[in-house]
Amino acid sequence: MQAVKVKLAIAYAGLGAVALGIAVATQEFPPLRDWAPFAVVAFLTVYHAVEVNDHLTASPAAMIFLATAVAFGAGHAALGAAAISAVSPVTKSDIAERRVALSVINWGQTVVAAVLAGFVLEPFFPSGAWSQRDFPLVAAGAMLASMVYHLVNWGLVSLAVRIVYRKREVRPWSRMGSILRSTVVMGFVGGLLGATYHLVPVALPLIFALFGVGYLAFSSLSELREAQEATLRGFIKALEAKDLYTRGHTERVAYFSQLIAERMNYRGTRLERVRWAALIHDVGKLAVPRDLIRKRGRLEDGEYEQLQVHAHVVEDLLAEVEFLRPMVEIASGHHSRFDGGGYGGTGHAHGNPPSQEARILAVADAFDAMTSTRSYRVALSQEFAFQELRSNAGTQFDPEVVEALVQSVVESGERYGSPNLGSEQAARLIAEGKGRP
C-alpha cells in the first residue's frame, strides 16, 4: 500500500505543479503586500484543521481560497488562490503522524481545485473598476467557482481513496457528502467576502474576523461529535465494569448488526444509529441485581419481570440524554417479537411490531447468544444457530433480516461458535461437566 501511496503522491504533485505552471504562465501575481495576509490566515486555518471523523479533516480553507480569488480579480484569481493553497499544505495532525504521502496528495488536489475555481471565475469579473452593480454577477461566479472547487476536490479525494484502499465505496468518508453542502455555501460566502474586500478594503480586519467565525463552525461540529461518542463510550465502559460476560458480547452484537444493516443498504447516520443502539442494548443490565445476571439455568416468571423493571429504569435514565433517545428506542425494542408478541421497552407497547432497526438488533443478539459460551452452556455451532434463526423466522425474527445475517456471515468466511455442537442439551451437559467436550 505504501508503494501505491508514493506513486499516487507523485502523480498528484505533478498534477498540482502543472496546474500551478499554467496559472503562472497565464496570470499575474497579485501585489504581495495585499496577498500575504490572506496567505498567513489560510496557512493557520489549514494547520489547525479540525478532524471531523477518522482522518477526514476539514477547515474553512476553501472560504479563504475563494475570497482571495475574488479579491484580486481579473488576471490574478487563479494564481492568487492557487499560490495560497500551495503555501498552506499541512495540518497539525499530518505533522504529528508524519503523513508525508497524504500531505503531498492533499497539496496536489487543493492546488488543482483552486486553479480551476480561479479560471471559472475569470469571465464573471467586470472589466475595469468595480461598482456596486457588478456585485450580483461576481456573486454568481463565486457560487459556481465554489461548486467547481468542491467537486474537483471531492472527485480527486475519492479517486485517491479508491486507489489506495482499493474500495469501491468510500464508507468512512461517507459523511463528506453532508459536509460538502455546507462547505459549498461557505466557499460562496468566501467569494462574497472577497468581493467586499475589493470594494471596501478597509473592512479587511472584519473579513478576517469572519474567517475566524467560519473556523468556529467546524470546530463546534467536531466538538459535538466527540461529546456524543464519549457519552456512549462512558456507558459501555460502565456496563463492562459491571459484568465480564458482557465484555465482547456488546461488541460482537454491534458488529453483526452492522453487517446486517450494511447488507440491507443502511448508510450514514442510520447505519451509525443501529451500531450505537447495539452498543448500548444491554445497558439495562447495569441495575439488575447480581444474582439474577449470574443465575444458572432459566429464570422464573417473577424474576423475569424483575429483570425487565430494572432494565427499564436504566433505559429511562439513558433517554434523559437527548441524542441517545432514538437509540434507546431501538435497543429497548429488540426483545419484541417480529409478530408483535413479547415485551417491549420505552415506546413499544405490547403487540406493537418493533422497528426494522430493532429487528436487526434482535437477530444479531440472538445469533451471538447462541454462538457464545454462557454461564449455563458452552457455545453452539454456527449451523445450529442459522437453523434455529430460520425456523423462528416469521414469528420471532424478521425473515429478511435473518437471511441478511446468514448471507453476510457466510460471505465473510468467518465462523462463530463451537464446531459440530448441534444441540442445546449437549451444550448444557458439557457446561455442567457431564458431557463429552
Which residues lie near other proteins (CB under 8 A)? 132, 135-136, 139, 185-186, 188-189, 192-193, 196, 199-200, 202-203, 205-207, 209-210, 212-214, 216-217, 219-221, 223-224, 226-228, 230-231, 233-238, 241-243, 286-290, 293-294, 310, 313-314, 317-318, 320-323
Q: Half-sphere exposure of residue 395, counting CA atoms within 13 Å on the CB side? A: 5
**Rounded Cα distance, 358 and 268, in Å:** 17
Give dist(CA 68, CA 243) in Å, integer. Answer: 58
On whether the CB atoms of residues 81 and 66 are closer than 8 A, the answer is yes
Picking from 14, 6, 28, 106, the residue whose alpha carbon sits closest to that of residue 72 is 28
**Nearest to other proteins of 117, 193 (CB atom):** 193
- For the bound state, the minimum distance from the C-beta of residue 98 to other proteins, rounded and expressed in Å, comes to 22
Q: Which residues pair with 417 in a beta bridge?
A: 381
Number of helical (H) and strand (E) elements in the chain, helices listed first: 18, 2
Count the alpha carbons within 13 Å of 200 in the hemisphere toward its beta carbon: 10
Minimum separation from the CB atom of position 216 to other proteins (A): 5
Q: Select 15 or 313, whichever has its Cβ closest to other proteins.
A: 313
Which C-beta is closer to other proteins: that of 205 or that of 413?
Answer: 205
CB of 195 to other proteins, least distance (A): 8
Q: Which residues pair with 56 in a beta bridge?
A: 53
Compute the least distance from the CB of residue 295 to other proteins, in Å: 12
Does residue 160 contact residue 8 with C-beta atoms inside 8 Å?
Answer: yes
Contact 327, 355 (CB under 8 A): no
Give 146 or 418: the residue with its C-beta nearer to other proteins: 146
CA–CA gap between residue 15 and residue 106 (Å, rounded): 11
Nearer to other proteins, 103 or 308 (CB): 308
Query: Phi-psi region for residue 15, left (φ > 0), alpha (ψ -120 to 50) or beta?
Result: alpha
Smaller CB separation from other proteins, 105 or 186: 186
Nearer to other proteins, 24 or 180 (CB): 180
